[in-house]
């Protein structure tokens, strides 16, 4: 086993990895840019090495500096987390060339699944169902293929992810401008302007299967995550089990994902993403050859520490269990807490956190990388934390998440906490009736400032009481403990009563 590992990332995922390293008795090395000198992951690690200026292109994306930091500190392995260099095949190869273990799949596996067009072809040959589509070398080529596929179609960047270089087209006249915009966006984001077409699946769920393999040929799946609650093709809320899928369907999807992983000799953690259509058919979307942002909910229901297993696999050990030993229990939900303003199209809201109080209690987990007084930088993704909950049933998990959101206090920046609170109370979400277009269809009730749900317009005083209680909670978190002298109620009690009246 390794004695020291460098974490080539920042924020909450770096903190998450460092925690497991500490439990395993493995030394941790953090890397940081100029603006991250006082970041939480730097404070948590045993050692820390500066790697450059604030822009990621000058620090976290510079492979040579990260490998040099590993050499200088004597780190035997590098865990890339997610994002940055986590799915960069040349970086994985550079680690190997330097005699440093890359905690992830082989470079060949990353390369094979890195291009969406190449991955589609490879998975199709392996018997994995794919969305009908076509590669396009020119606009005229795209026009012909779109006509054959039939509108609506989806234009996608071949090297893309996170919704960049992606356009949904309903009519032929939309193609020309979308072609230029998608290629330009793809080139800027990925350095590759190759795009392709897929037949658009209307009102699908976005369901992914977590896989894990070792270097001895063993591959298992750890069930599914429903990631359909998205804005601009970016996931916001994830849950497991998927409310719209039977156990038999998930078992079939799991078998297909394992087959796909074996086709590229995959080891380490990875995720197969599928579109699940309303008729129960599912289609391969892409494979993420890394740890997913939403991995905590899989850990909740299986009891598996995915980071620990990735480290064990990278050290050459076999998986801790076989497929029939992987057991699912209960339900889990994750909300991504961002420094952003949902009422302004989820515009980032960087700045200094004046006060932070995270929720706790039974079945609550907050994977964060910030603290009171730290700054959410404009240079990186504005993720504050990932709030996840576990409960025996989905109904109880939704209730627990609402309770946890009510305890979450952040001041100094705008966040999407109110959005999440509204979502958890929406009757269609509570019933599990949603797809990837849910936020767009319900934006008036989920995103607009000052919106009061039908049936509650008669009680504006309740909203005022709730706002006042939250302000008092912020006072508690910053050390200014106060109670209402007239009523004798603590802010916790006032908040609970206001929430009860709203429910």
Task: Read off the pLDDT of each residue in 126-155 and give the average, rounded to a whole number.
Answer: 93
Question: Token pair 């609170």 is at which residue?
Answer: 421
Phi, psi values for residue 155, rounded to 5°: -95, 130
Sheet bearing 167-169, strands edge to edge: 133-135, 195-199, 153-157, 167-169
Q: How confident is the model at residue 483 (pLDDT cuts 50, 70, 90)?
A: very low
Query: Is pLDDT of 492 > 70?
Result: no
Active-site position among 290, 402, 403, 414: 290
Q: Which residues of 296-318 are buried (b: 16+ CB within 10 A; e: fewer)?
A: bbbbbbbebbbbbbbbbbbeeee
Query: Is pLDDT of 225 > 50?
Result: yes
pLDDT digits (tens, 9 = 90+) for 17-39: 999 999 999 999 999 999 999 99
Task: Read off the pLDDT of each residue in 129-154 and give the average, rounded to a whole number.
Answer: 93
In this structure, which CATH number among 3.10.290.10, 3.40.50.720, 3.40.50.970, 3.30.470.20 belongs to the domain 105-128+202-329?
Answer: 3.30.470.20
For residue 189, the model assigns a pLDDT of 79
For residue 161, the model assigns a pLDDT of 67
For residue 503, the model assigns a pLDDT of 42
Rg of the chain over Cα atoms, rounded to whole angstroms, equals 23
Q: Could you tell me which of 374, 388, 412 has the C-alpha nearest to residue 32?
A: 374
DSSP 8-class letter at 130: B
- Percent of the chain at pLDDT > 70 equals 88
For residue 179, the model assigns a pLDDT of 94
In order of 199, 480, 497, the CA distances from 471 in angstroms are 49, 11, 15
In order of 166, 193, 329, 343, the CA distances from 85 in angstroms are 22, 20, 33, 32
How far from the centroid of its chain's Cα atoms is residue 414's Cα?
Answer: 20
CATH architecture entry for 132-199 = 2-Layer Sandwich (3.30)
* Least confident interval from 269-273, 378-382, 482-486, 489-493: 482-486
- The per-residue DSSP string of 415-480 comes to -SHHHHHHHHH-HHHHTT---TTHHHHTHHHHTSTT---TT-TT-HHHHHHHHHHHHHHHHHHTT-
Query: Is pLDDT of 493 > 70?
Result: no
> 178 is written with which tokens?
């979308």
* Least confident interval from 41-50, 114-123, 304-313, 354-363: 114-123
How far is Cα 134 from Cα 34, in angstroms, rounded to an integer? Answer: 44
Q: Do 375 and 391 meet the contact criterion of CB atoms below 8 Å apart?
A: no
Task: Read off the pLDDT of each residue in 376-380 and give the average, rounded to a whole number.
Answer: 96
Task: Read off the pLDDT of each residue in 134-152 and give the average, rounded to a whole number.
Answer: 93
pLDDT digits (tens, 9 = 90+) for 252-298: 999 999 999 999 999 999 999 999 999 999 999 999 999 999 999 99
Question: Token pair 């929720």 is at which residue?
Answer: 359
Q: Which CATH superfamily is domain 334-448 in?
A: ATP-grasp fold, B domain (3.30.470.20)
Domains of the chain: which residue ranges?
A: 4-103, 105-128+202-329, 132-199, 334-448, 460-502
Same fold, 105-128+202-329 and 132-199: no
Q: Do 387 and 401 meet the contact criterion of CB atoms below 8 Å apart?
A: yes
For residue 477, the model assigns a pLDDT of 44
In 3-state terms, what secondary structure has residue 189?
helix
CATH architecture entry for 4-103 = 3-Layer(aba) Sandwich (3.40)
> Is 290 designated active site?
yes
Q: Residue 5, CB half-sphere, CA atoms under 13 Å: how many?
A: 30
> 330 is written with which tokens?
């209960």
Q: Tell me the pTM.
A: 0.85
Pairing between β-strand 27-33 and β-strand 4-7 as defined by DSSP bridges: parallel
360: number of Cβ within 10 Å: 10
């Amino acid at each position: 086993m390794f004695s020291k590992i460098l974490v080539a990332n920042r924020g909450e995922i770096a903190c998450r990895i460092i925690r497991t390293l500490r439990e395993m008795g493995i030394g941790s090395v953090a890397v940081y840019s100029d603006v991250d000198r006082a970041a939480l992951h730097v404070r948590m690690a045993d050692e820390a090495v500066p790697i450059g200026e604030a822009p990621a292109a000058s620090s976290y994306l510079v492979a040579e500096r990260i490998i040099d930091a590993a050499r200088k500190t004597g780190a035997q392995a590098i865990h890339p987390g997610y994002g940055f260099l986590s799915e960069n095949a040349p970086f994985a190869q550079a680690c190997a060339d330097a005699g440093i273990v890359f905690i992830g799949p082989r470079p060949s596996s990353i390369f094979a699944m890195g291009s969406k067009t190449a991955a589609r072809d490879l998975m199709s040959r392996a018997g994995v169902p794919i969305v009908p589509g076509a590669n396009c070398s020119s606009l005229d080529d795209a026009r012909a293929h779109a006509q054959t596929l039939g509108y609506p179609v989806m234009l996608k960047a071949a090297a893309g992810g996170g919704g960049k270089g992606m356009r949904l087209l309903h009519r032929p006249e939309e193609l020309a401008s979308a072609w230029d915009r998608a290629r330009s966006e793809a080139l800027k984001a990925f350095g590759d302007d190759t795009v392709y077409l897929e037949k658009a699946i209307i009102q699908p769920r976005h369901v992914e299967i977590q896989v894990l393999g070792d270097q001895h040929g063993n591959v298992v799946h750890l069930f599914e995550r429903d990631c359909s609650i998205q804005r601009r093709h970016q996931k916001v809320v994830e849950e497991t089990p998927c409310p719209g899928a039977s156990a038999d369907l998930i078992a079939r999807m799991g078998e297909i994902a394992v087959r796909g992983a074996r086709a590229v000799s995959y080891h380490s953690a990875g995720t197969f993403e599928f579109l699940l259509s309303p008729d129960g058919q599912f289609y391969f979307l892409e494979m993420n050859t890394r740890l997913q942002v939403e991995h905590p909910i899989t850990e909740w229901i299986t009891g598996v520490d995915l980071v620990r297993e990735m480290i064990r696999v990278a050290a050459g050990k076999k998986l801790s269990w076989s497929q029939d030993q992987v057991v699912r229990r209960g339900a889990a939900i994750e909300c991504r807490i961002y420094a952003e303003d949902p009422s302004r199209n989820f515009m980032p809201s960087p700045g200094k956190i004046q006060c932070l109080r995270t929720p706790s209690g039974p079945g609550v987990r907050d994977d964060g990388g910030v603290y009171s007084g730290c700054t959410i930088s404009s240079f990186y993704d504005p993720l504050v934390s990932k709030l996840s909950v576990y409960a025996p049933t989905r109904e109880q998990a939704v209730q627990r998440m609402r309770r946890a959101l009510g305890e979450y206090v952040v001041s100094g920046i705008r966040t999407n906490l109110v959005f999440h609170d509204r979502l958890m109370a929406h009757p269609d979400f509570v019933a599990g009736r949603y797809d990837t277009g849910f936020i767009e269809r319900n934006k008036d009730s989920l995103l607009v400032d000052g919106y009061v749900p039908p049936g509650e317009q008669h009680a504006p005083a309740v909203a005022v009481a709730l706002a006042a209680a939250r302000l008092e909670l912020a006072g508690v978190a910053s050390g200014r403990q106060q109670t209402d002298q007239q009523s004798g109620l603590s802010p916790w009690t006032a908040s609970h009563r206001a929430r009860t009246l709203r429910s």
